[in-house]
Chains A and B, each alone.
Chain A
Amino acid sequence: MNPSVLDGYDPQGFYCEMLQSAASRVVRERLSGLSIAALKQRAGNANAELYNLGITFTVYSDAKTIDRILPFDVIPRILSGEEWQHLESGITQRITAINLLLDDIYHKQHLLRDGIVPPDLILGNRNYRPAMRGIDLPHKTYVNICGTDIVRDERGTFLVLEDNARTPSGVSYVVENRHMMLRAFPDLLDEIGLRPIENYGARLISALHEVAPAGSGDPRVVLLSPGTYNSAYFEHVFLAREMGVPLVEGRDLLVEDDRVFMRTTGGLSRVDVIYRRIDDDYLDPEAFLPDSMLGVPGLMRAYRAGNLALANAVGTGVADDKAVYAYMPRIIHYYLGQEPILQNVETHICREPAALRYTLDNLAELVVKPVGEAGGYGITVGPKASRDELDECRAKLIADPANYISQPCIKLSVAPTLVDGRVEPRHVDLRPFAVTGASTWILPGGLTRVALRQGSLVVNSSQGGGSKDTWVVA
């Protein structure tokens, strides 16, 4: 017999993005008319095409570079128009607050004086850039491109996991995945009211024009990449091509009289806006790491002189810091006078006595994370920790509570995923991409990352994660 795609699929008690979505009915029906064998064949073709197209990220092993594709699962993740509207308004609210926060902390610092966030969390943060103090940005937009990581719990509630306000990547996969689905599954997405995602590049360059320095007329935009050996090089190519702008490296640019130029066949040519895919630290050896080979000496001088726009602005990393994240609901309330539309994952800020007490009382059920600069290290996952590990964690919490936050373990939602010729539930998250110039626009859908290993909650591409096309329907 030829079982069809969703025959015998069991989400095992998790919230299922396919079965519990009101918008997926037509797609479910069509999938039930498709055999797993046919699905597998089309999936194989699609992945071979991604490889030939070179839609790859680069990994390094034994001093050789290897191009890998981000494994692509062909069963789409579906969001309804209503769900999307909720996400859209929630993300817009969050980015608005983040931009107000950044403008404030690099100017008058009302937030700190009003005691909303402890000053040392901001001013002592390694991503806080004193060089940004007093610089006025067009539209006060610091975060032009944001990729907010969102998960869904067992009730289907959307929760923000992380605000990626520096140089979020992944949007190229969103668009290329869609192109792939349009070619491989025209029958699946025909006439279902799927929202198009074609115009990302046009939206992005319009937003960058909006923040260009005053008087730059028809501004010249470039995309600054660390180069072909960067793991996200394909995405840099994609973005430059979609915007129709030159893809430059640091060595192509120079600063003279606080103005930025690129070296062309016809000599030096003025640059007004840089979408940089290089971290703050490496951007300008005069201002930051002096031995950076990737950056351009003098870039910050041009920036301070108002002759250059950088997207994202320098110093946005402080806003997507884990410690500051915990305060985001209060930050939204402080600047906008609104309740957050999208909630954080419930976070207990252990520097506050009540939160510390709660954390100590429920240690075995919570995830405890250090907030300091050493981000990923020292996480204790209560349900998986031994008695000794819990005791050790308890001691650390009591010794230095300000260095910790705690969160409940979230049971991430699942989506049906083709794994080894079977369709099984796998955990997913969502990263929508928001573009902000004078106002915020969000690409409908976003990158759905899927943890391909059974039971795994880790969706990162470096650790066996893949991606799905995200469909906003009607």
Chain B
Amino acid sequence: MPDVLLARYADCIFWLARYVERAENLARILDVNETFSRDSRGGQNWRSIVQLNSDEERFLASHDAPAAHSVVNFYVIDGDNPTSIVSTIRYARENARTLRPLISTEMWVQLNVFYNRLTELSAEDLAPGNLAALFAMIKEACQTHTGITEGTFFRDQGWYFYQIGRYIERADQTTRLLDIKYHLLLPSVADVGSPVDVSQWNALLRSAAGYHAYRRLHAASTTPARVAGFMLLNNAFPRSVHHCVREVGRLLGEVKSHHGLRNGNDAAEELDRLQAVLGTFDIAAILRSGLHEFLDSIQRQLMAVTRELSIAFFGYTPETSQAQTASSQ
């Protein structure tokens, strides 16, 4: 029996991976912010999270200025907020429900139980003293999903599209995190060396689980350029944009050759261009020409890759892929 995968399933597995990755990243950001931003700039930090997801307008429509409690509530348990963790895991679970014939029972059960648990969270769970435990639970549940998938998901086409989705989302999340935080922190570049400043940069690294690796590399100094360079370009850091993009390129090449898929050349070309950019410039050059513009162009290219994948493999037309990409970001 030839190896086939329904186009719609490829789409669902790609987005299942993206949504879980997205939820994990959001939990990381909220966690670090909660732990390291109980200082004079706390309010500004919470606002930056709302900006990170381009949710400022929607947030302010139903809340006052962003503060710890309202932002956490908005991003964890607010089912009416499409970018909340509970909504994101709901989308992941809906995709998993569609994919039940394809994914392992363990994958489904864990997501089902995780989602049910999120819907049962109360205000009590979001009280300041309980937040660290809550974010640990969410991160672990997402990582459990990743681990169960690694250990049980059959290695056919679906596995490739799952991983491609995961790495694209991770690259995208890292650019967003860097974009917002870097901007926020730049005004303080003059204060390099002050305790507050270092703790902010460390917080940024921690939210991407890069703190310890960064220390091994640059034990003595924490500078904005080095942190940005690490998160964007480091080849060994699993959440760096360059690493993620390279993985997507590798996976796309493999799935095409191993499974005889003729389509997808446009996506591959898009990825080649992206890799060339990330492999050519060093961080100093990127900062000189504008980090924000650079990150923005990477985000646009990642969207273009998603669009090309949608047309090549997921059964979308150029028109429907435009709408799909727009609504999923």
Contacts and interface: CB of A to CB of B under 8 A. Distances in A.
Interface of A: 52-54, 218, 220, 228, 233-234, 237, 240-241, 246-249, 251-252, 262-267, 269
Given A218-B1, A247-B101, A264 B7 contact: yes
B109 A52 contact: yes
A53 B109 contact: yes
A265 B13 CA distance: 12
Nearest to A222: B6
B1 A263 contact: no
A228 B259 CA distance: 28
Closest 5 CB pairs of A and B: A240-B101, A237-B100, A265-B313, A247-B101, A264-B4
A269 B315 CA distance: 13
A178 to B, nearest CB: 16
Contact of A252 (B6, B113, B157, B262): B6
B266 interface: no
B109 A269 contact: no
Interface residues of B, number: 29
Contacts of B101: 237, 240-241, 246-247
B261 interface: yes
A453 to B, nearest CB: 28
B261 A266 contact: yes
Contacts of A262: 4, 6
B5 interface: yes
Contacts of A54: 97, 100, 108-109, 112
Given A52-B109, A52-B112, A263 B261 contact: no
B100 A241 contact: yes
A235 to B, nearest CB: 11
21 contacts: A52-B109, A52-B112, A53-B109, A54-B100, A54-B108, A233-B97, A237-B100, A237-B101, A241-B101, A246-B4, A246-B6, A247-B100, A247-B101, A248-B6, A252-B8, A263-B6, A263-B7, A264-B6, A265-B5, A265-B6, A266-B5
B98 interface: yes
A222 to B, nearest CB: 9
A69 B100 CA distance: 17
Nearest to B260: A266
Determine the main DSSP class of A at the interface with B. Answer: mixed
Contacts of B188: none
Nearest to B9: A246
Contacts of B7: 252, 263-265
Interface of B: 1-2, 4-10, 94, 97-98, 100-101, 105, 108-109, 112-113, 157, 161, 259-263, 313-315
A293 to B, nearest CB: 15
Contacts of A264: 4-7
Nearest to A249: B8
Given A53-B105, A54-B108, A269 B4 contact: yes
Contact of B97 (A220, A228, A246, A252): A228
Contacts of A228: 94, 97-98
Contacts of A240: 101
Contacts of B313: 265
Given A233-B97, A237-B101, A247-B100, 12 more contacts: A52-B112, A53-B105, A54-B108, A246-B4, A263-B7, A264-B4, A265-B5, A265-B6, A265-B157, A266-B4, A267-B262, A269-B4
B302 to A, nearest CB: 20
B113 A52 contact: yes
Contact of B8 (A218, A241, A263, A269): A263
A231 to B, nearest CB: 13
A265 B261 contact: yes
A147 B244 CA distance: 52
Contacts of B161: 265
Nearest to A67: B112
A236 to B, nearest CB: 8
B108 to A, nearest CB: 6
A269 B5 CA distance: 10
Contacts of B105: 53
Contact of B315 (A233, A234, A247, A263): A263
B10 A265 contact: yes
Contacts of A269: 2, 4
A52 B117 CA distance: 11
A252 B5 CA distance: 11
B9 to A, nearest CB: 8
B236 to A, nearest CB: 31
Contacts of B97: 54, 228, 233
A237 B261 CA distance: 26
B6 A266 contact: no
